[in-house]
Amino acid sequence: MKDRPPMEINVRESAGVSVLEVRGRLTIGEPAEQLHDALESVVKGGAKKVVVLLNGIPQIDSSGISTLVRISIKLAREGGVLRLVCGPGRVRDALTVTRLVEAIPTFESESAALANF
């Protein structure tokens, strides 16, 4: 089995919005759990507006998609909103096929996502 580089998640604030920049494969196991934990931490810290940047992800599976859905629902229940940033490619195709782009607003750029709040 090939060793994969670990997933990296950088969290920052931009105009009152929590932005999570994700790099690496978002697949079952540790990567999906790592993203879930990072999102939970941001939400527990009081964030109501969250943007997840997925342009640094070469692959996403159902576990990664499930993580995004769960946190979107949790945020909505607490009066918050989630936005995704994902340009064209395999990951965007996966989000489109699963109709996640219809459930969670998805943008091609971070500036477009931030302007949507």
Domain assignment of residue 12, yes or no: yes
Q: Helix H segments across 78-116? A: 90-97, 100-103, 110-115
State which H helix or E strand residue 11 sits in: strand 8-14
Q: What are phi and psi of 60, to 5 degrees?
A: -135, 140
Q: Per-residue pLDDT for 1 more than 60? A: no
Return the structure tokens found at 27: 């697949």
3-state secondary structure of 10: strand
d(CA 25, CA 42) in angstroms, rounded, equals 21
- In this prediction, residue 41 has a pLDDT band, given cuts at 50, 70 and 90, of very high
- Output the domain CATH number for residue 106: 3.30.750.24
For the cut 50, the answer to whether the pLDDT of residue 76 exceeds it is: yes
Token couple for 91? 């990951």
| pLDDT confidence tier of residue 3, bands split at 50, 70 and 90 | low
How many domains are there within the chain?
1
Evaluate whether residue 21 is within a structural domain. yes
Residue 1 lies in a domain: no
pLDDT at 95 (0 to 100): 97
pTM of the model: 0.94
